[in-house]
Amino acid sequence: MPSGADPSHITGPFCRDCLTPATAPRCRACGSPRLLKHPQLHELAIAHVDCDAFYASVEKRDDPSLADKPVIVGGGKRGVVSTCCYIARIHGVRSAMPMFKALAACPDAVVIRPDMEKYGRVGREVRRLMLELTPQVEPLSIDEAFMDLTGTEALHRASPAVSLARFARRVECEIGITLSVGLSGNKFLAKIASDLEKPRGFSVIAPSEAMDFLRDRPVSFIWGVGKATQAQLEREGIRTCGQLQTADEAQLMRRYGVLGRRLARLSRGIDDRVVEPDRETKSISAETTFDADISDFPTLEKTLYSLSEKVSGRLKKEGVGGRIVTLKLKTPDFRQLTRARQIGDPTQLADRIRRAAIDLLRREIDGRRFRLIGVGVSDLEPAERCDPPDLVDRDAEKRAKAERAMDQLRGKFGGRAVELGIAYRPDVTEEATPQRDRPMPQRRDNADKPVGGRR
């Protein structure tokens, strides 16, 4: 790949591969057909960057023998597809598809268990290269982010478009995965653009062409319009963004409230949200999908022990705690239910998270089976405000100390150096305990050691 001329001279169309000015259907310098051409190419500065089939790409990078095979990254025989490579997509595999369906569509696929730690590492490398371009990086997930490159021209001696093309090339050469870039004047259009040419894409939508571009797109294109809103709009005969464009903003607001304003503006490509580099973490959660649907309390309870520890570990690492504990359950027909509980003081202790979660779980146990269980903590506050000493629950302090001691041991000797005894309790299998004989969950016990009081 040629090193390219001084990119500061690029003011018109250019080649994404060698970063030289180019006008012909192919780059004269390197012969690449990947040219970027747009009248406002060098005026736009808001980008959305999204890695292509991220987990699968990382796996293919690390095992070249997978290069020409369909690869699915996902959990267990029961889990769902987290990511699948583009070869698998040709066969109809999609992310979030149940694994058995994916394997039916593409029986030759290589299924790989996700290695989140590795993806996190690669994601951080990509993030580091982003931050070399601008501090205005708003991560949306491990592998995608918004970037605002306004005012970086002098620093990089190149327009945002050229800087982004160079960044995409660096990620390919240095990290070994590909990504797609969407460039526009606001977040909404940038996000739409990045999706247009995947993989290895680079698309530009100028705000001035947004009206034309969006006219025939379905309303579901608009951020915040999910199934419910789509159905509601459908009932009123609105299917496309074009129909919203012709509607009056005040009229839409009268009918749909705040959402109406969003519909009116986004359908016209107007979006004034800024790129926020340090959007706070709002919640921390962990969940697991079972190999077989589970309805019995002891097994679900045991899962909550390890999930609470996971969540607590992350809270401690981030130096925060939260005052709302949420339990998430999914039934075999994929219906999701969440139950939340506010606890008195914010906590980061696995013990308190678990107690609240188990209490919520106990109310849901009625023979229903669940395929997934999760725990989350939200309404976060700094660690200093968490878990203040308690007047009556003296044991809480002891439990907190024990937990912190366990954390230290794990830090020193690894994650499984110490575990709670319950982790070794054998699972109660569905066959072993038929439904009619299954004992009812125990009445909850007090956390505080009772001495006085009733009998």
Partner 1 sequence: MKVTIERANLVKALTHVHRVVERRNTIPILSNVLIRAVGNELRLKATDLDLEVTESIPAVVETAGGTTVPAHMFHDIVRKLPEGAQIELATRADGATLDIRAGRSRFSLQMLPESDFPDLTAGAFTHTFQVPAAQLKRLIDRTQFAISTEETRYYLNGIFFHAVEAGSDLKFRAVATDGHRLAQADVVAPHGCEGMPGIIVPRKTVGEVQKLIENPDASVTMEVSDSKIRLTFGEVVLTSKLIDGTFPDYGRVIPQGNDKELKVDRDEFSAAVDRVSTVSSERGRAVKLALSEGKLVLSVNNPDSGSATEELAVDYDQDPIDIGFNSRYLMDIASQLETGTAVFRLADAGAPTLISDIGETGALYVLMPMRV
Using alpha carbons only, give the angle 45, 48, 54 rounded to the nearest 5 degrees. Answer: 150
Residue 442 in the binding site for partner 1 (CB under 8 A): no
| CB 455, min distance to partner 1, A | 7
> Taking CB under 8 A as the rule, which mask of x and - marks residues 377-416 in contact with partner 1?
----x--xx--xxxxxxx----------------------
Residue 195 in the binding site for partner 1 (CB under 8 A): no
Q: Which two tokens stand for residue 216?
A: 């025939």
d(CA 407, CA 368) in angstroms, rounded, equals: 35
Choose between 324 and 428: whose C-beta lies nearer to partner 1: 324
The residue range among 45-53, 70-78, 190-198, 339-347 that interacts with partner 1, by the rule CB under 8 A, is: 339-347
Contact 187, 275 (CB under 8 A): yes
Contact 187, 86 (CB under 8 A): no
Q: Segment 345-364, which members bind partner 1 (CB under 8 A)?
A: 355-356, 359
| CB 299, min distance to partner 1, A | 22
Contact 428, 299 (CB under 8 A): yes
Using alpha carbons only, give the angle 402, 378, 190 rounded to the nearest 5 degrees. Answer: 135
Give me the sheet containing 320-330, strands edge to edge: 283-294, 370-382, 320-330, 336-347
Question: Annotated catalytic residue: which of 138, 144, 301, 403?
Answer: 144
Choose between 291 and 384: whose C-beta lies nearer to partner 1: 384
d(CA 240, CA 236) in angstroms, rounded, equals: 12
The binder of partner 1 chosen from 3, 65, 435, 446 (CB under 8 A)? 446
Is 144 designated active site? yes
Q: CA 352, 356, 361, 362: dihedral to nearest 10 degrees?
A: 100
Whole-Å CA distances, 436 to 295, 297, 335, 363: 12, 14, 25, 18
Residue 253 in the binding site for partner 1 (CB under 8 A): no
| CB 388, min distance to partner 1, A | 6
Choose between 121 and 404: whose C-beta lies nearer to partner 1: 404
d(CA 229, CA 219) in angstroms, rounded, equals: 9
d(CA 27, CA 21) in angstroms, rounded, equals: 8
| CB 397, min distance to partner 1, A | 11
Residue 330 in the binding site for partner 1 (CB under 8 A): no
| CB 393, min distance to partner 1, A | 6
Residue 440 in the binding site for partner 1 (CB under 8 A): no
Choose between 335 and 454: whose C-beta lies nearer to partner 1: 454
Interface contacts to partner 1, rule CB under 8 A: 341-344, 355-356, 359, 381, 384-385, 388-394, 444, 446-455
**Active-site residues: which are they?**
144
